Amino acid sequence: MRYLIDFSYSGENFNGYQKQPKKRTIQGEVEKVLTNINGGKKVTIHSSGRTDAKVNALHQMAHFDFDKKITPYKLLGALNSYLPDDIHINKVKEVSLDFHARYMVKSKTYLYKISTLEYNPLLRSHVYQYSKPLNIRKMKKAIKYFIGTHDFTSFASSEDKKEDKIRTIYDASIKEKSGIISITFRGKGFLKYQVRNMVGALIKVGEEKLFYKDIPKMLEEKDRRKASICAPACGLTLIKVEY
């Protein structure tokens, strides 16, 4: 049987999504519980994509094959009974054996939150506590330049060895309410640190240290050294995966 899980996690106390030896990861925790439910036979999960250390997820998706015939309802209950409190399974459903959680993704949506208010320790793991004013009007002008198909070399991590840095962003927007800025990107897929690097550039625009019309120039130069800082991981959440 092949199952698809929709799950959430708070990334604060994880070394990222991907399993690593002797490190606490989301994949490692979920696979450990599934293997136990499967009578000790190894279970490997295949997610829609990896998230970095301290990045959160509201709706991450992953599929896995299971030897036992078990209803999605019972599997959901078993998983949530044994998983740690910072991971929660929202839904479980059976899928066809040719389904793949990564290769069939049509779009992913990421949300980045910034607080311009006084530091609040209750928000520290899910909101970037910038705690200073930003020019939202100019940031809204700047974000429009990211929409479309571009070579995002300038906004990719230098660690990302993928030769193809071309990605498509379908929608991007900025909203502000009660001192919390919400930046949303929806695209086919994203490079390592791409969203955080784009947010870093938007912050510089909001600080008025970067002109919003410099964004297309940065894209054209295809040089990571020309772009801005990488925004902290804590403010980033994967909120939706579409198939």
- Give percent of the chain above pLDDT 70: 99
Query: Would you say residue 92 has pLDDT above 70?
Result: yes
Which residues share a beta bridge with 93?
4
Which residue intervals of the chain bear CATH 3.30.70.580?
2-95
Mean pLDDT rounded to a whole number for the chain: 95
- What is the per-residue pLDDT across 219-228, written as a single tens digit (0 to 9) for each? 999 988 877 7
Annotated active-site residue 223? The verdict is no
Class of domain 2-95: alpha beta
- Residue found under tokens 């990605």: 167
Which residue intervals of the chain bear CATH 3.30.70.660?
107-242
Within 10 Å of residue 29's Cβ, how many Cβ atoms?
18
CA separation for the pair 58, 75 (Å, rounded)? 20
DSSP symbols for 196-224: HHHHHHHHHHHTTSS-GGGHHHHHHHT-G
The 8-class DSSP code of residue 158 comes to T
**Residue 95 has which token pair?**
């899928």
**What pLDDT band is residue 161 in, cutting at 50, 70 and 90?**
low
The one catalytic residue in 52, 65, 67, 214 is 52
- What is the per-residue pLDDT across 38-72, written as a single tens digit (0 to 9) for each? 999 999 999 999 999 999 999 999 999 998 889 99
- Give percent of the chain above pLDDT 90: 92
- What is the per-residue pLDDT across 185-217, written as a single tens digit (0 to 9) for each? 999 999 999 999 999 999 999 999 999 999 999
Helices 72-82 + 26-37 axis angle, to 10 = 120
Cα 7 to the chain's mean position, in Å? 13
CA separation for the pair 29, 94 (Å, rounded)? 21
pLDDT of residue 183: 98
- What is the per-residue pLDDT across 172-183, written as a single tens digit (0 to 9) for each? 999 999 999 999
Higher pLDDT pick, 164 / 33: 33
- The type of residue at 210 is L
Structurally, at CATH architecture level, domain 107-242 sits in: 2-Layer Sandwich (3.30)
Could you tell me the CA-to-CA distances from 166 to 109, 152, 156, 197 in Å, in that order? 17, 6, 10, 15
